[in-house]
Chain A
Amino acid sequence: MARVVVLGAGVSGHTAALYLKKRLGKAHDVVVVSPNSNYNWIPSNIWVGVGKMTTEDVVFPLAPIYKKKGIEFVQAKAFALWPEGDADDDRPAVEVEYTSAAKAGQTEKLRYDYVVNATGPKLNFAATPGLGPDGGHTVSVCTPSHATEASTKLDDVIAAAKSGKTQKVVIGVGHGTCTCEGAAFEYTFNVDHELRAAGVRDKVEVTYLTNENELGDFGVGGMQFEQNGFRTTSQLWTESLYRERGVKAVTGAAVTSIDEGVIHYDQLDGSHNDMEFDFAMLLPPFRGADWKAFDKAGEDITGTVFAPSGFLKVDANYTPKPYEEWSAKDWPRTYQNPTYKNVFAVGIAFAPPHQISKPRATPDGLAVAPSPPRTGMPSGTMGKIVAFSIADMILKGATEPTHSASMSEMAAACVASAGAGMRTGTAAAMTMSPVVPDWEKYPETGRNLKETFGEIGLAGHWVKRLLHTLFIYKAKVKPGWTWIPE
């Protein structure tokens, strides 16, 4: 009997665990380790952040789902990897600290035959002094509780505006190396919609503050697509959307610190700037979960297994080289660790070989380099193909991963809603294929123009609402869940 431990129960970890159990059946054990007792459909946190949904709408308990499927659930946080075993036992292990009320603080080594690291990101608010809701001066929509707090503070802004006070709202990213600019873009749209619905848009100045070198970069170097017979860019498309909504923007910015009501940031031109705010939703940079790796003798081998960012090394080409030499082929395909073949990492937990968007720096050397986004569609697919590979290794004796999915081939979809309502909602819907431009295959734009598009309208809102319902249905493992693609 083999034992597969999946660390994390987000989009990629949950997907991996479900497909592993489906393939392996009762003959083998699948264990999910997650510090949280609930699943969170993160894309809908945006709606919690403007009061259109509640926490209960975007989370559900994991334990009953796993019990029904015969998956062991351990509510704990992994903090050490022992890929060679230890002095007591040759079997590799993950060391965890329980977070459940009953066993909080207790530690245990979980032995495994295969481990899938899907721990997602650590929200690194500490990278920027004053950033974040816990001891900082800004809000976030990264978790349901953060988003709920953001909604409450947005209500305060609306109340102040209704009383006649002019308000300043800033939405964007809180560090030069942040990712997920698409989420900040979406939140900007939603806040604009709520302010208009409340009749106070003219009393509120909305500014989008980003590390992107130009609008529409989204951490993927922007994109080109065809619209009404013309070739356009995501930059012009986004600028048009911002003009239509009266949103100002600051690009190429690295936030350095935040005081009460003031954001301090540097820009690529070397300028040092201050921006006042009454409400600021700034996303944090991500880094890998805080954990270490040890060899059998107990020597620290963290640098062998993990990149300096804390993300796990996989089958990518990590050779340092100039931006111009980066290639789509550098990106991983199987998500297998090159040193320990029974260790995999998926979703945000794998170390990308390089940025997709061109990294830049201020004259003072401050990095302004959007990190590569790893959105739900590719993350779910990674979880699925790693599950299939591990199942083949266990059931068929395969010596190498049998399935692959590279971000330089996979597509991603982003639907940025801008208000709710079956007749009044709207959303910007985008797809790009592939996520990482392949300039050899698509020399003109780096992407397949037939599969890359952007458009805005009521249809996008319906799609966003449908995705919310479908993906929560799928995550709850209801009948036909495998028919819903990642």
Chain B
Amino acid sequence: MDNTNERIAMAPLPTAGELRHRRNTFGQFFRFMRINWTMWRLARKKHH
């Protein structure tokens, strides 16, 4: 039995703080740098 929509209905929603965090330009700039650095690092390793 597919209970996906019941699970979606019970999934946690972001808090007001989390929503602010997602839009905070200053904070997101650091996330942007971190994501880029992680992706750069991952793309340049694990092949020989």
Contacts and interface: CB of A to CB of B under 8 A. Distances in A.
A236 B25 CA distance: 26
A148 interface: no
A214 B25 CA distance: 33
**Highest count of chain B CB atoms <10 Å: which of A247, A459, A466:** A459
B2 A251 contact: yes
B13 A459 contact: no
A41 interface: no
B19 to A, nearest CB: 9
Interface in A232-253: 235-236, 239-240, 242-244, 247-252
Contacts of A247: 8
A240 B13 CA distance: 6
Contacts of B39: 377, 413, 431, 463
A292 B10 CA distance: 51
B4 A249 contact: yes
Contacts of B46: 405, 409-411, 433-434
Contacts of A457: 21-23, 28, 31
B12 to A, nearest CB: 5
A202 interface: no
Interface string A467-486: 00000000000000000011
A215 B13 CA distance: 16
Nearest to B32: A459
Contacts of B35: 429, 455, 459-460, 463
B38 A451 contact: yes
A215 B4 contact: yes
Contacts of A250: 2, 4
Contacts of A463: 32, 35-36, 39
Contact of B11 (A242, A409, A426, A429): A242
Contacts of A240: 11-14
A47 to B, nearest CB: 19
Interface string A189-207: 0000000000000000000
Q: How would you classify the secondary structure of chain B's contact residues: helix, strand, loop or mixed?
A: helix
B43 to A, nearest CB: 4
A306 B6 CA distance: 43
Given A377-B43, A411-B46, A248 B29 contact: no
A463 B30 CA distance: 12
A456 interface: yes
Contacts of A384: 47
B16 to A, nearest CB: 13
Interface residues of B, number: 31
Contacts of A268: 2
Nearest to B48: A404
A455 B43 contact: no
B4 A405 contact: no
A115 B44 CA distance: 25
B31 A455 contact: yes
A381 B12 contact: no
Interface in A14-30: none
Interface string A258-286: 00000000011100000000000000000
A53 interface: no
Contacts of B23: 457-458
A411 B4 contact: no
A242 B5 CA distance: 9
Given A269-B2, A431-B38, A456-B22, 20 more contacts: A235-B7, A240-B11, A240-B12, A243-B9, A244-B13, A247-B8, A249-B8, A250-B2, A268-B2, A381-B47, A385-B48, A411-B43, A423-B25, A434-B46, A457-B28, A458-B24, A459-B31, A459-B32, A460-B31, A485-B40
18 contacts: A215-B4, A239-B8, A243-B11, A252-B2, A268-B2, A269-B2, A385-B47, A404-B48, A413-B39, A426-B22, A433-B46, A458-B22, A458-B28, A459-B29, A462-B28, A462-B32, A463-B35, A463-B36
Interface of A: 214-215, 235-236, 239-240, 242-244, 247-252, 267-269, 377, 381, 384-385, 403-405, 409-411, 413, 423, 426, 429, 431, 433-434, 451, 453, 455-460, 462-463, 466, 485-486
The 9 nearest A-B residue pairs measured at CB: A405-B47, A485-B43, A459-B31, A239-B11, A411-B42, A457-B22, A459-B32, A240-B11, A459-B28
